[in-house]
Structure 1
Amino acid sequence: MTSTPPHHSILDKPFVLDLFAGPGGLDVAGHRLGIPSLGLEWDRSACLTRYAAGLDTLHADVSAIRRESFESLPPEINVLAGGPPCQTYSVAGRGAGRKALEDVKRYIDRLTDGVPETTVDEQLEESEKRGSDPRTALVLEPLRYAIQATRSPNRGHRPFDVIVLEQVPAVVEVWRHYARALQEKGLPDGTKYRVVVAVLATETYGVPQTRSRAVLIARREGLGTPSLPAPTHRGYEAREWKRRNGLPEALRQPTLDEAPEAERRNRDELAPWMSMRDVLAAPVGTHPGRGPFLVRSNYGSSGIPGRRGVRTDQQPATTVTGRISRFVVFEHLDDDVVYEGSRFSMNEAGMLQSFPPDYPWSGTARAQQVGNAVPPLFGAHLLSAALGLPAPAPDLMREPWVPATEEQRAKLRSHGCGAADDCTARCPRPE
């Protein structure tokens, strides 16, 4: 495994609590940075993947842990992270999305004003009875955890020092309201944070995929002003790539090559974006390598459902979603003939998300697990920026992952589920 050089975090001993942890994207980032973490995850299959990977996990409902067993969490946890489910914000230009957004803003204000948790729960229940999507409330959980930390005797009422949140771009307005509340009003006990919010492109951090994420990084006052991670790679520009590869002059637009000299100079200081070929061509671990190919996505392009996006292996992947297993891959025979080859394996799909080769995807709905995950290399950049660490090495995720032994897996599951080989009554119901 690639190691990072010695460094000093703004915290003596960072320890991450990862809410809605999924199969482990942010925890893999922490693992390779030498930062311990505990993940809370509701989905059984994602937990099986986490156990197989050797990641400390609680198979639990995030809301239930906050309400019923917050005091059982390790008191030394000082970094709160997570990506709450986002489905109700994916329509943020329409009526339902706007209403959900305004509702969430009101609840953020009520929580930071110190409205009792029981009152907020009652209001949320009434809202659900009137037809609101129950998942809307989940985006409030990071704030509710931050408040609960200040009320926890087990922690000595100590607030989290750092908060790192990420989600789809539509959630950026929620993060901005979070930022205003944390900076201007603070938590009910008076704790305030310095906060930065932005939408970032993952390919500018070395992920071989074009994917935009809304991020929030907060530091408790007294720990300095947080910064967004500085890009290490160039952004992917489809028109520039097509121009360089033979697109007719009449169809292209000006690119950075035609920009002012200072802008070109800044661009030239960054590494080129990573292509699918960069991570899939060479054999590594059990991955045999893959020759030149074209890939056609299973969903529409440019907002047109019937237009299937096609990219070559010399480009980054389109956004990896739960449909990655349906992408059609065409292998090149020569310049004139291609044939349909094998679909991406889960190992390959994970590598396009920047997971290390041979990550042990387990359980069912594996493609959905891959698509829902935080790209680990991007997560490493977020954690490094939040903690004041140097940018992670570009090859941080290149070494194959070493899965947990059966003994380690059984121990992790005993802790996370209550039994070494099965779920128990304390685990969330599948429905």
Structure 2
Amino acid sequence: MQARHLWKGHNLNVVNPKEIVLHKIIGEGSFGRVWSGMWRSSQVAVKEFVFAQAAVTGGSLQRNELIEEIVGEAAVMSFLRHPRILHLYGCSLTSQAIWIVSELCSRGSLRQVLDDRSQHLPLVMRLRIAVDIAEGMLYLHSREQPIIHRDLKSHNVFIQETATGELLPKIGDWGSARAVMLHTGGMRTMTHGVGTACWLAPEVIRHAKGSWQSDVYAFGILLWELATREEVHSNLSAAQIIARVANEGLRPKVPCNCPWREVMVSCWHEEPQARPSFTEVVRRLTALLERRVATQSSSISPLRPQRRGSGSGGAYSSLAQRSGTTSRSSGDRSSGSGTSEALPYRVRTHSLEEHDAGDATGRASGQESPVADLRELAQRAKSRRHRGKRPRYREDKEQS
């Protein structure tokens, strides 16, 4: 069957369902379930559109359109190649469902990571995630045939954790929203549940038509999530959100002292034409990231330089390596390992809460100063010399 969205020269890989071993359910939604599993030698996520059973067994025009919508969007995903875009392996059609087979991200969705309070997310790390997502959206919007996501939200950004603890976001799931809409009949799904309603731009609510500006609006809401780690409009129902965004200009309360607050507010501007493009968003967020790293570089502790190409510099040293540039190639950090010499120091980071309270509060909470680090290292070296051993330096553990 030829999907209507299948572009010439690009064929969707058809996966034999017998080759897939399903392990456990890792997510559920209005479309069905998401499974973790194995396909050949790869760990995969399998999105199961359970409502597609009717489309397979039936013969109506709408049911055929449903299959075409899902398979067509999967075809678009399958040939996109960017480190910030979720890689899709193929599509599988069973007697009960349509399966979309993609790479499995170890940490689940960005929303799950934000909800995990045991996960330390320094300000620099969150800002870097924002830059990465913006770069992925810029890639989609900058193609010869631009791709509008239409359902950008923290639930549809997936996080891969590298061996060094770096969190790499990957954008996915832009086919699900339209497929579910088609299945359930228009805007009803978009107002069902807080999930998608919180990220809908006013013009989408009024006219049910997405654009690159509506993607930018959704990204502005996502920036608020990164700043606060809270649920958007958690005290309102979906119907209240829809009505107040469309008629009263409802927006989340802007966090005080959030470094990217101006970018965030400009992204959710009421007028679509006044919102910045992702080219501008990437430029502004990258500039903020570079300034933040430069500021933190004034509070450092000397450590033994990393070996070239060791990739052991971690998330923050790799950030410092890239500071000073306003654009990055699509292959940056795709493997999660460094390819250039890491800086011979550790960049100190602060959480957003410490940022709001000020540096003095951060010091009062027990953070070590560079002078204290130097004294401790010197004392250890002196002690080793007295024992007749060659002095060595080791990195202190990052403070939680």
Band of TM-score, shorter chain = under 0.3
Q: Normalization by structure 2: what TM-score?
A: 0.26
* Higher RCO structure (Cα 8 Å, ≥6 apart): 1
Structure ID, larger Rg = 2
